[in-house]
Amino acid sequence: MHNSKKIAKILICLLICVLVIKGLDLVLYPCTFVRNNVHTISTEQKDLLIFGTSNGMSDLDPDYILEGTGLTGQNLCVGGEYPVDAYYLTKLALEKQKPKAVIFELSPGYFTTEKEKGNNYCLFYHEFPMSMTKVEYYFDTMLDCDFRYPLFAFHEYSLQYELSKMKDTVYQKTTGNYDVSYLKGQAQEYHENGFIEKYPVAVENFPSYSPTLFTAADVKQTNMDYLTRLIELCRENDVEFIATTMPLAATMLVQEEDSYRQAWDYFTEYFKEQGVPYYNFNREYYGAYGHDLANYVDYDGHMNGDSARAFSKVFGETVLGDLKK
C-alpha cells in the first residue's frame, strides 16, 4: 500500500510536469511558417515539393513555376534546412501523399558545415505529427543535441518572445488556425504555397556578408549521405528528383570564384554519378536569368519578390519539361 502511494505521487508529479511543459510550449513556442508547411504536406496532395535553403525559399514561387499547368506545388525551403531535414520531410510527405517530383535547391556552404544546434535544431521536428518518421527523425538528430531542445523547445524563445503575440499564438494552436496573415513581417511575406516574398532593398542598404567558402576537403560526409538517401528515397517511390542551384549576383561569383568553381565541379560530378539532373544557374544555365544586384535584397543571393516571380517562370520553362505536360 505504501509503495502504491509513492508510485501514485510520482505519477502525479510527472503528469504535472508534462502539463506545465505543454502549457509553456503552447504559450511561448511561436507559430512559424514551418508549422504551415508541415501541415500542408500532411493534409494536401501536391505535385511538386521543393526543399532547400533560404535561397530556394525566397527565389522559387511554385505558382509561377507551374503556371498554366494545373499542377500544384509547395515550397518547403528554410534557412537552416540540411539534407537530413529534407530527407525526413520527404519521408513525412510520402506517408501522406504521392508527389510527381522533388526539387532540391543546393547551397554549397550547407555541405561544409554541420547542422546548427539551437532553435533551428527543432524547427522541423517540433512540427512533425506523431508518426514513425518523427520517431526515426528523433533518433537520427535529437540524440546529438542538448536534451532540452526536444523537451523544452520553447526555452530558445522565452527571453525574446513578444508578449503581445501570445494571445494570437494560443488562438492559432487551439483552433488549428493557419492564416498566413499572422506570418507577415516588415521585410517579407509568407504565401500559402511556402514561397516567402522578400520586399525590395536598395543595394546601398544591403547588409554585410561573409560567405561560407567551399572546398571538397571540408565536405561533411553526413550531409552527403543524407542527400544520397534522399535521392534513393525518391527513386524507390517513383518520384522524379531534380537538383538545382539558384543564380547568385555576378559580383559575388567573381569575388569568390575559386570557392564556387570547386563547388560546381564537386556537385556536377556527384549528380552525374547519381544519374540525376542538376540545373546550376551559375554555370551551364548562367544566361537563363540576370545576375544584377538589383534583383536581390542582399549579397547572399536572396531575390526580391518581383525578381523571384520572374525567375520562377524561367525556372519552370527550363527545368520541369515533361512534368508540365
Q: 122 and 12, same structural domain?
A: no
Q: Are 244 and 280 a contacting pair, CB within 8 Å?
A: yes
Q: What is the DSSP letter of 115?
A: P
- Read off the pLDDT of residues 38-47 as tens digits, 9 standing for 90 and up: 999 999 999 9
Domain count for the chain, please give it.
Answer: 2
* Half-sphere exposure (Cβ direction) of 274: Cα atoms closer than 13 Å: 24
Q: Are 33 and 7 a contacting pair, CB within 8 Å?
A: no
Q: Report the C-alpha gap between 288 and 291 in whole angstroms.
A: 10
Q: 13 and 36, same structural domain?
A: no
Q: 140 and 25, same structural domain?
A: no
- Given the DSSP bridges, would you call strands 196-198 and 188-190 parallel, antiparallel or unpaired? antiparallel
Domain range for 2 is 1-30
Q: Please give the C-alpha separations between residue 117 and each of 141, 145, 180, in angstroms, as whole numbers.
A: 10, 7, 27
Q: Residue 144: give its domain's CATH number.
A: 3.40.50.1110
Q: 276 and 156, same structural domain?
A: yes
Question: How confident is the model at residue 171, as a pLDDT?
Answer: 79
Q: 59 and 21, same structural domain?
A: no
Q: Grid cell 526555452 — which residue? A: 155
Question: How confident is the model at residue 164, as a pLDDT?
Answer: 67
Q: 103 and 217, same structural domain?
A: yes
Instruction: Give residue 283's identity as a one-letter amino acid code.
Output: R
Q: Report the C-alpha gap between 60 and 38 in whole angstroms.
A: 18
Q: 267 and 236, same structural domain?
A: yes
Question: How confident is the model at residue 262, as a pLDDT?
Answer: 96
Q: 225 and 126, same structural domain?
A: yes
- Read off the pLDDT of residues 111-168 as tens digits, 9 standing for 90 and up: 999 887 666 667 888 888 888 898 888 888 777 666 556 665 665 655 455 666 778 8
Question: How confident is the model at residue 126, as a pLDDT?
Answer: 82
Question: How confident is the model at residue 152, as a pLDDT?
Answer: 59
Q: 239 and 149, same structural domain?
A: yes
In the predicted model, residues of the chain with pLDDT beneath 50 are 159
Q: Which cell is 97 given?
A: 501523399
Q: 237 and 277, same structural domain?
A: yes
Q: 196 and 112, same structural domain?
A: yes
Question: How confident is the model at residue 124, as a pLDDT?
Answer: 86
pTM of the model: 0.90
Question: How confident is the model at residue 39, as a pLDDT?
Answer: 94
Q: 81 and 2, same structural domain?
A: no
